[in-house]
Amino acid sequence: MTTTNGTKPGQHTVVAIVEDKPGVLQRVAGLFRRRGFNIESLAVGPTEFEGLSRMTIIVDGASAPVEQVEKQLYKLIDVVKVSDLTHEDAITRELALLKVRCNNVNRHELLDIANVFRADVVDMATNSLMLQVVGDEDKINGLIKMCEPYGIRELSRTGTIAMTRGQKTTTVHESEPEAIARVHQSQGRRVEADLPFSSD
């Protein structure tokens, strides 16, 4: 069973807008490790604004209340905005590549399975097929389960990304340094030399 945004019960979907600087991912991962928060999925990529990246983090709710996750993220100097999408009407997607064993006898069976899951065949060799599938976690897990009896030689998954439906967004609407400074200051951070903000 999943929620309206594809998150399973007990999971939190958190989106963090962060400054695109070296070491930000390491600091976020380090914070989660120190606090004992269990990250089940983490996807990072650029936003519509240069200099800002979007992190989509799926957190095990048993390891941390979502309010605590948000509070700790805001303590990092590079985090501009944090949004909890757990109970929002949102779209979640993940991409997976599967390389599956096949032969002349069962290749058509695998192609039928791919068709059911609307997966694309992106490579074909004498003894293998590579499938690409996009969807929520349940869809991807379902395809993997159906392919397991044939033998999965290799599997790569991107991690979940999420976006709210309708007009609501998780983005920062101004990318100017002054706007980012206002966000930091609203969180109680002060200018500190080159870093340029530190938490009180």
Say yes or no: 32 and 69 in one domain.
Answer: yes
Query: Is residue 192 within 8 Å of residue 182, measured between CB atoms?
Result: no
- Residue range 78-99: average pLDDT? 92
Nearest to 12 by CA among 84, 80, 92: 84
- In this predicted model, what pLDDT tens digit does every residue of 122-142 receive, in sequence order? 999 999 999 999 999 999 999
DSSP three-state, residue 95: strand
Say yes or no: 115 and 184 in one domain.
Answer: no
Question: Is the residue at 65 inside a domain?
Answer: yes
Say yes or no: 22 and 68 in one domain.
Answer: yes
Say yes or no: 80 and 125 in one domain.
Answer: no
Say yes or no: 51 and 70 in one domain.
Answer: yes
- In this predicted model, what pLDDT tens digit does every residue of 140-153 receive, in sequence order? 999 999 999 999 99
Please check the confidence at residue 193 and state whether its pLDDT lies above 50: no
Helix (H) or strand (E) holding 75: none
Query: Is residue 85 within 8 Å of residue 164, measured between CB atoms?
Result: yes
Using the structure block, give the residue that is written with the tokens 């309010």. Answer: 67
Please check the confidence at residue 180 and state whether its pLDDT lies above 50: yes
128: domain CATH number is: 3.30.70.1150
Q: How would DSSP label each residue in 156-196?
A: EE---EEEESTT---S-S--SHHHHHHHHHHTTEEE-TTS-
Question: Is the residue at 5 inside a domain?
Answer: no
Say yes or no: 127 and 149 in one domain.
Answer: yes
Please check the confidence at residue 179 and state whether its pLDDT lies above 70: no
Between 64 and 150, residue with greater pLDDT: 150
Say yes or no: 80 and 178 in one domain.
Answer: yes
How many structural domains is the chain composed of? Answer: 2
Supply the range of the domain harboring residue 55.
Answer: 11-89+165-199
